[in-house]
Amino acid sequence: MDKSIYKILMVGPQGSGKGTQAQILSEKSGIPIFSTGNILRQRIQTKDEMGKKLAKMMNQGILVPDEVVNQIVFEKIDKEGKSGYILDGYPRNLDQAEFLDKKEQLTHVFEIYISDKESLRRFLGRRTCEKCQTVYHTEYNPPKEEGVCDKCGGKLVIREDETEEALAKRLDSYHKLTEPMIEFYKDRQVHHKINGEQSIPDVTEEILSQLSINS
């Protein structure tokens, strides 16, 4: 790998495979992933007032306040992001993108797009490791042993926020809030649109072809 510093955003609707691609890219390159969804899910394990409020919003599929995610991500970047990072789940609206841009300029924004219909199909088979948060799919990306994480042996579960009602809210928020944000990155010419309905390796190859990282 060359010495470029990559500041990457993976963006796409629920089920687009952005989290999976972030994991693959991180394994190949050593670049850390900062996933706001995963950080927030860990945070709600602390069942204090703040944790309870966050859990309620997340389970309904609505966005948590910008101040909360801005702070989480900036702390991560300051502590662990000096040599680059892959952002998964942040920024998710125009205000967050503008806030981030004051401090950090992203080098690549990979928009992985799929239809709402495909999003629902994929959603129904999603399983997440309750220990290390690795994501699988019963059909497209199954673990070696059913219900068990390949990486850490943790139990694979359906997340509490993975109801069809919450999915509908997330897709709505994606179309209304996240898609307009993507325009911001098109203007900055760091945007790459990738068809997420291809196979996982094909999507990876397209991403790698934009970066100087060997597959």
CB of 15 or CB of 207, closer to ligand AMP: 15
Which CB sits closer to ligand AMP, 28 or 53?
Answer: 53
Q: Is 43 a catalytic residue?
A: no
Q: Which is nearer to ligand AMP, 7 or 170 (CB)?
A: 170
Min. distance of Cβ 19 from ligand AMP in angstroms? 7
Residues that bind ligand AMP (CB under 6 A): 36-37, 40, 57-58, 61-64, 69, 89-90, 92, 96, 170
CA distance 32 to 38: 13
Residue 170 a catalytic site member: yes
CA 118 to CA 126: how far, in whole Å?
13
From 43, 92, 122, 127, active-site residue: 92
Residues 6+ apart with CB under 8 A from 32: 26, 80, 81, 85, 86
Contacts of 115 (CB under 8 A, 6+ apart): 197
Catalytic residue among 41, 122, 126, 127: 126
For residue 112, give the nearest of 29, 191, 213, 25 by alpha carbon.
191
Active site residues: 18, 92, 126, 159, 170
